[in-house]
């Protein structure tokens, strides 16, 4: 019984939030990694793309709500997600056309691409704050919990329990579906294969008649779509804050690099590694140990490795360790 | 001759713009902008040394600037004797333990023990140090932070003149840059940017959360000034007489005099740094740096130690950024960790350097001046534009009021557009790097 109680605690405070946050990071990191694999640069504007997608979704949700549209127990925002993806994809299309196409033609240094992406980041950040303002927006209007801690306790009779938020279930399920679709697309379809070929060896891909513009545009559209998903799911799960997305850039890059830049599987694994280790390191284990250890050995302190304030530092420390010990990442990405 | 013409033209245009603001808005505003322009130019000079001379992408500008701000607090704030007696000893022991741990780590790293031993010893040292810090540090920190948390709750500083912190800020930033550079400088350029971005975030997190050091998000206010206070000027007889003789308004003149004294101090720093950077750039050392940047492999073939040179330049540039950070905190008279945002500090300084012309010190100066000028003036300009565009809508139209309240954020859009346009159509910036 004590063991189950400890497990319920860990599920509530580490596993569920960890897998949710990990899914959001994984979707973000997938976008970063795809851009890296095809265009060979680290896209600093990706956080703002997530923010842009979420903003469009919020605007349409408000519009829909004013006409009385609702999705029952699920958040209304999900109905308008496809529209938001469409808008973000169009925005990405314009970015590619007006900014990056030129440097691609000139075969500029990757660092020039990076600086250009910072220009895009600035512009998008300004655009978002100009349209929706810098303040927080809560747009999750569905049922909050599928089952909460109290119901779980009453159902199982345990002393501790965990609640499952609707947004958590949606996030994890959506990520599983999206990743499966993406992997099938990359591995089985002709277009997906041409994308991989292009990423693997650009010259050979050109020789075999793959249209580079098509591949690059498609990559941007997919990255924009993934960014929208990540932004909206993060906003539903927590809250939409325009400035948080620049801070999320660091864990997202860490996830992509830890998994191996340019490797989609690595990005997903990296996302979960970063998110779970953030929570494992900053969780106070006192209550868990109280259940697991005999009464005489009950710990006095909080039994916490690091204060929760340093959550973001964890992703950074992991990043540095990986960069020093194994710079190609867990899954040997396309680097160095 | 062409170069000189171009420089004098651009710099005089900027001077006209400042004078214009002086007449249109007020001389107080104009001088306020110019002081921050000088600080921005200092930061840009620091980044230019890294980005322009050596091609090192340091995305941690924000962190080094914050370290400069921290040193301003530690040097100038008067010591809080109560908290020092409560927990000063504990903190001192903690610092010693940290130093000892670092030294031990380096000894183990340099020793010729086998890899297997090192793999056990390193985590062991880290765990022991962390445990000791928790045992000794936590109670001391708790005692310090519990002492009058609304007014104090931190150790204070040394109570020395704040000007000293400009040098100390540079030294602290340089030391931290040494540690960071040792770890990250071997990385590829975009990884280096990401890693330094992360380090800057971590530094800000530490400053926000270690209340015993900086009062965290409660901010440190009322840092002493290197220049007289307006109120003292207004009460001193010689100043009142001076104002009466020339017919100046007393209050406004006092604040202009204060701003002018800051301006004087900052100008000395900027000019010194500028001359030193120019001399360094033209010296054999500068040529070597550019040679390394342009072709690392052939520079290495000539026997240059690329890694050591990169470390050198990383420390130098970061120290200048730290100095600028200390200057900024001195000017503001308060230390607020929450104001350190990467968009405002790191990336804006990059924009300054790139727009001015990477590798050209004149470019960094004018880039710092112009970009800060635009950053400040974007707000009235954006407001004017939005009002013009939305003028057909009625006064109370929600879209119009929404856009007008958000008009200040046009500055980000403008920065982005400016960077993209310069990168595309004038990638060498206003003053291209000379040969």
pLDDT digits (tens, 9 = 90+) for B105-132: 888 888 888 888 888 888 888 888 888 8
Collapsed DSSP state (helix, strand, coil) of residue B357 = coil
pLDDT at A99: 94
Alpha-carbon B133 to chain mean position:
30
Closest CA to B337 of B93, B184, B154: B154
Nearest CA-CA distance, residue A35 and chain B, Å: 14
Burial of A189 (0-12, 13-18, 19+ CB in 10 A): exposed
ipTM of the complex: 0.89
pLDDT surpassing 50 at residue A335: no
Contact yes or no for B415 and A124 at CB 8 A: no
State the pairing for strand pair A164-165/A145-147.
antiparallel
Which residues, 6 or more positions from B188, have their beta carbon under 8 angstroms from its beta carbon? A335, A336
Contact yes or no for B190 and A99 at CB 8 A: no
Is any Cβ of chain B less than 8 angstroms from the Cβ of A82? no
Q: Indicate the pLDDT class of residue A336, thresholds 50, 70 and 90.
A: very low
Rg over CA atoms, chain B: 24
Contact yes or no for A118 and B199 at CB 8 A: no
Is any Cβ of chain A less than 8 angstroms from the Cβ of B387? no
pLDDT surpassing 50 at residue A209: yes
DSSP for B142-159 reads HHHHHSSTTT--S-----
**Cα–Cα distance, A150 to A154 (Å, whole number):** 6
pLDDT at B144: 83
Closest CA to A45 of A122, A141, A106: A122
Interface test mutation site (partner B, options A108, A122, A125, A243, max chain B beta carbons within 10 A): A122
Give me the residues of chain B with pLDDT under 70, please.
1, 435
Contact yes or no for B198 and A320 at CB 8 A: yes
pLDDT at B91: 86
Average pLDDT score over chain A: 88
Identify which of B183, B406, B423 has the shortest CB distance to residue A133: B406
Give the H or E element holding residue A145.
strand A145-147
**Cα–Cα distance, A218 to A189 (Å, whole number):** 13
Nearest CA-CA distance, residue A202 and chain B, Å: 21
Is any Cβ of chain A less than 8 angstroms from the Cβ of B205? yes
pLDDT at A46: 95
CB B233 within 8 A of CB B175: no
Identify which of B198, B205, B342 has the shortest CB distance to residue A309: B205
Tokens of B120: 């056990």
**Cα–Cα distance, B218 to B198 (Å, whole number):** 23
**Cα–Cα distance, B13 to B7 (Å, whole number):** 10
Q: Range with the lowest mean pLDDT among A181-190, A254-263, B79-88? A: B79-88
Backbone angles phi, psi at A143, to 5 degrees: -70, 135
Contacts of A66 in chain B (CB under 8 A): none
Identify which of B55, B197, B427 has the shortest CB distance to residue A250: B197
Tokens of A155: 């159902």
pLDDT at A151: 84
CB B252 within 8 A of CB B28: yes
Contacts of B407 in chain A (CB under 8 A): 130
pLDDT at A314: 87
Q: Write a three-state SS string for A253-317.
A: HHHHHHHCCCCHHHHHHHHHHHHHHHHHHHCCCHHHHHHHCCHHHCCCCCCCCCCHHHHHHHHHH
Contact yes or no for B347 and A116 at CB 8 A: no
Q: Indicate the pLDDT class of residue A168, thresholds 50, 70 and 90.
A: very high
**Cα–Cα distance, B431 to B364 (Å, whole number):** 9
Interface of B with A in 147-166 (CB under 8 A): none
Contact yes or no for B201 and A335 at CB 8 A: no
Out of A155-164, A175-184, B116-125, the most confident range is A175-184
CB B357 within 8 A of CB B367: yes
**Helices and strands in chain B: count of H runs, count of E runs:** 20, 0
Contacts of B295 in chain A (CB under 8 A): none
**Who wins on pLDDT, A24 or B88?**
A24
Contact yes or no for A42 and B199 at CB 8 A: no
Which residues, 6 or more positions from B96, have their beta carbon under 8 angstroms from its beta carbon? none
Is any Cβ of chain A less than 8 angstroms from the Cβ of B351? yes
Collapsed DSSP state (helix, strand, coil) of residue A38 = helix
Q: Which sign, positive or negative, has the C-alpha torsion A236, A239, A242, A247?
A: negative
DSSP for A214-235 reads HHHHHHHHHHHHHHHHHHHHHH
Give the H or E element holding residue B404.
helix B398-405
**Cα–Cα distance, A125 to B413 (Å, whole number):** 7
pLDDT at A271: 95
Burial of B256 (0-12, 13-18, 19+ CB in 10 A): buried
CB B231 within 8 A of CB B95: no
Contacts of B197 in chain A (CB under 8 A): 249-250
Identify which of B183, B188, B416 has the shortest CB distance to residue A122: B416
CB B261 within 8 A of CB B228: yes
Collapsed DSSP state (helix, strand, coil) of residue A44 = coil
CA-nearest residue to B203 within chain A is: A313
Domain formed by A2-325, architecture: Orthogonal Bundle (1.10)
Tokens of A214: 């098509």
pTM for the predicted model, two decimal places: 0.90
Identify which of B183, B189, B351 has the shortest CB distance to residue A111: B189
**Cα–Cα distance, A19 to A169 (Å, whole number):** 10
Is any Cβ of chain B less than 8 angstroms from the Cβ of A320? yes
**Cα–Cα distance, B338 to B331 (Å, whole number):** 17
pLDDT, mean of residues A20-47 = 93
């Amino acid at each position: 019984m004590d063991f189950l109680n400890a497990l319920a605690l860990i599920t509530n405070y580490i596993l569920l939030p960890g897998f949710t946050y990990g899914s959001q990071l994984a979707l973000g990191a997938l976008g970063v990694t795809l851009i890296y694999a095809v265009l060979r640069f680290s896209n600093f504007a990706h956080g703002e793309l997530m923010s842009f997608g979420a903003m469009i979704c919020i605007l349409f949700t408000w519009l829909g709500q004013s006409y009385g549209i609702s999705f029952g127990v699920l958040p209304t925002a999900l109905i308008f997600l496809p529209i938001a993806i469409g808008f973000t994809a169009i925005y990405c299309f314009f970015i590619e056309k007006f900014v990056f196409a030129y440097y691609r033609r000139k075969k500029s240094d990757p660092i020039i691409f990076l600086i250009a992406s910072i220009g895009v980041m600035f512009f998008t950040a300004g655009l978002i704050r100009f349209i929706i303002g810098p303040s927080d927006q809560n747009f999750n209007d569905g049922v909050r919990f599928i089952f909460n801690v109290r119901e779980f306790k009453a159902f199982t009779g345990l002393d501790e329990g965990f609640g499952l938020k609707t947004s958590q279930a949606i996030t994890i399920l959506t990520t599983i579906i999206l990743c499966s679709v993406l992997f099938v697309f990359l591995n089985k379809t002709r277009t997906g294969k041409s994308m991989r070929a292009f990423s693997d060896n650009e010259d050979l891909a050109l020789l075999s008649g793959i249209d580079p513009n098509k591949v690059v545009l498609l990559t941007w559209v997919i990255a924009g779509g993934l960014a929208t998903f990540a932004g909206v799911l993060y906003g539903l799960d927590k809250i939409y804050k325009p400035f948080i997305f620049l801070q999320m850039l660091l864990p997202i890059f860490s996830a992509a690099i830890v998994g191996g830049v340019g490797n989609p599987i690595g990005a997903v694994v990296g996302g979960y590694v970063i998110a779970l280790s953030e929570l494992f390191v900053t969780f106070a284990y006192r209550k868990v140990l109280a259940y697991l250890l005999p009464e005489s050995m009950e710990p006095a302190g909080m039994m916490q490795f690091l204060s929760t304030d340093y959550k973001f530092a964890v992703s950074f420390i992991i990043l540095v360790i990986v960069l020093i010990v194994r710079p190609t990442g867990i899954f040997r990405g396309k680097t160095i | 001759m062409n170069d000189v013409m171009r420089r004098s033209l651009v710099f005089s245009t900027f001077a006209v713009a400042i004078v214009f603001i002086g007449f249109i808005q007020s001389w107080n505003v104009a001088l306020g902008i110019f002081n921050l322009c000088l600080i921005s130019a200092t930061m840009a000079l620091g980044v230019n040394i890294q980005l322009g001379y050596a091609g090192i992408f340091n995305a941690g500008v924000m962190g080094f600037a914050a370290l400069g701000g921290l040193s301003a607090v530690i040097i100038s704030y008067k010591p809080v004797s109560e908290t020092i007696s409560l927990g000063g000893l504990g903190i001192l022991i903690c610092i010693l333990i940290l130093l000892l741990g670092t030294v031990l780590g380096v000894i183990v790293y340099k020793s010729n023990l086998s890899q297997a031993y090192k793999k056990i010893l390193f985590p062991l040292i880290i765990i022991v140090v962390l445990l000791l810090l928790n045992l000794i540090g936590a109670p001391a920190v708790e005692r310090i932070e519990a002492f009058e948390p609304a007014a104090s709750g931190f150790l204070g500083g040394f109570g020395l003149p704040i000007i000293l912190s400009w040098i100390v800020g540079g030294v602290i930033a340089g030391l931290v840059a040494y540690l960071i550079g040792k770890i990250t400088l071997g990385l590829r350029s975009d990884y280096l940017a990401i890693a330094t971005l992360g380090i800057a975030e971590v530094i800000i997190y530490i400053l926000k959360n270690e209340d015993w050091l900086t009062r965290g998000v409660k901010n440190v206010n009322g840092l002493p000034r290197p220049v007289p206070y307006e109120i003292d000027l207004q009460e001193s007889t010689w100043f009142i007489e001076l104002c009466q003789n020339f017919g100046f308004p007393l209050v406004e003149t006092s604040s202009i005099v204060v701003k002018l004294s800051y301006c004087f101090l900052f100008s000395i720093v900027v000019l010194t740094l500028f001359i030193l950077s120019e001399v360094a750039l033209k010296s054999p050392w500068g040529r070597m740096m550019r040679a390394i940047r342009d072709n690392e492999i052939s520079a290495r073939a000539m026997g240059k130690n690329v890694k050591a040179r990169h470390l050198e330049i990383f420390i130098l540039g970061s120290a200048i950024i730290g100095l600028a950070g200390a200057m900024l905190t001195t000017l503001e008279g308060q230390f607020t960790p929450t104001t350190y945002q990467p968009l405002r500090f790191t990336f804006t300084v990059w924009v300054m350097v790139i727009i001015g012309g990477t590798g050209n010190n004149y470019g960094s100066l004018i880039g710092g001046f112009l970009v800060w000028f635009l950053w400040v003036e974007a707000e009235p300009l954006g407001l004017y534009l939005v009002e013009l565009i939305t003028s057909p809508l009625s006064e109370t139209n929600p879209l119009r009021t929404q856009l007008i309240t958000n008009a200040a954020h046009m500055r980000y859009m403008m920065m982005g557009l400016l960077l993209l346009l310069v990168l595309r159509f004038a990638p060498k910036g206003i003053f291209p790097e000379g040969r």
